[in-house]
Structure 1
């Protein structure tokens, strides 16, 4: 059975930015209730008082605030080392029968230079390699017979060490990436391991991105 509370909750959940703002208590609930009233009435099939919608929003905002404050923020306050690297290039190649052997050759080259940044990820159809721009000629030579679909330079990375409990708390990455989106940060790549993630952004956005992630510890 549909209720005002359930319809309001589903509506808010479908609006990620609105959900976060509601959890932080920065939205005028009366104004919001007026805006969403027509949709609530349409789904419920009858007239609804603004006061009833406001009460549903108040209950929901309290729940959202509890979840964010007592679970996600606890993890974010314990963010560990934040490492920034610059002068990177992002290559995207189509997956082939030979590309793994090419990556093995590249790793051998990189092992001789400990200062080189390297990370990669593989999807169903594509393989991404992000590496220091000092390795540009090496990469182009090794992968010259592979199909390159995209190459982006002038990139930087931010690697973040997360507490071990990040794997049992839902919403950690959503919370982080939402704040990066608010600042207009374009994520070229996201690479993660169990307790660490790395984002690749343009060099012109690295300062803002770093501040966003650093400020998470003070929330």
Structure 2
């Protein structure tokens, strides 16, 4: 049997931005309850009292305040070094029988250039390579026979070191990306390891993105 509390919680959880705003206590619960009423009554199949919805929202917001703020903020306050690199190019190639050999050749070519940025990731059908734009000519020569799906120039990377608690705390990445989304930042790529992640954004947006991430260390 569906209860008002369970239906309210499901409603909120299907709306990520509303979920965050509720956890921060910046929503008028009475107004929100009034907006939710028609959908909740349809879901439950009977009339619902607005006061009961408000009470469910209040309990949920208090619970979310603990789960979201106390745990996630503890991790975000411990964010380590933030490194920014500019003048990057992002290539996407279709996976082929020869793509790994080409990547090995690329690594061999750039080993003598420690200042050069290089990272890659492999999906089911595509391989992504991000390099300093200064070596674009090497990439284009080595991968000339590969199928290039996409290329994006004038990118910057922001690499963030995270504390070990991040791997056991749900919602850390969501919270970070949500803040970036609120600022209208378009993320071209995300590359992560256990204790750090890198995002690629346009060079025009890197200053705003850096400030958003840096400000997370000062959350209260």
TM range (shorter): over 0.9
SS of the equivalent of 1:92 reads strand
Does 2:214 match 1:199?
A: no
| Alpha-carbon distance between aligned partners in 2 of 1:111 and 1:198, rounded to the nearest angstrom | 21
Within a 5 Å distance, the mapping from 1:1-219 to structure 2 comes to 1-219=1-219
Runs (4+) of structure 1 moved beyond 6 Å? Answer: none
Deviation at 1:196, TM superposition (A): 0.5
| Alpha-carbon distance between aligned partners in 1 of 2:108 and 2:117, rounded to the nearest angstrom | 13
Deviation at 1:109, TM superposition (A): 1.5
Aligned Cα root-mean-square deviation (Å): 0.6
SS of the equivalent of 2:204 reads helix
Deviation at 1:20, TM superposition (A): 0.2
| Alpha-carbon distance between aligned partners in 2 of 1:179 and 1:49, rounded to the nearest angstrom | 34
| Alpha-carbon distance between aligned partners in 2 of 1:81 and 1:56, rounded to the nearest angstrom | 40
Deviation at 1:17, TM superposition (A): 0.3
- Structure 2 unpaired stretches of 5+: none
| Alpha-carbon distance between aligned partners in 2 of 1:151 and 1:87, rounded to the nearest angstrom | 13
Offset from partner CA, 1:131-161 (integer Å, 9 cap, x none): 0000010000010010101100000000000
Offset from partner CA, 1:78-115 (integer Å, 9 cap, x none): 00000000000000000001010100111111111011
SS of the equivalent of 1:116 reads coil
- Structure 1 unpaired stretches of 5+: none
| Alpha-carbon distance between aligned partners in 2 of 1:134 and 1:13, rounded to the nearest angstrom | 45
TM-score scaled by length of structure 1: 0.99
Deviation at 1:69, TM superposition (A): 2.0
Q: How many residues align?
A: 219
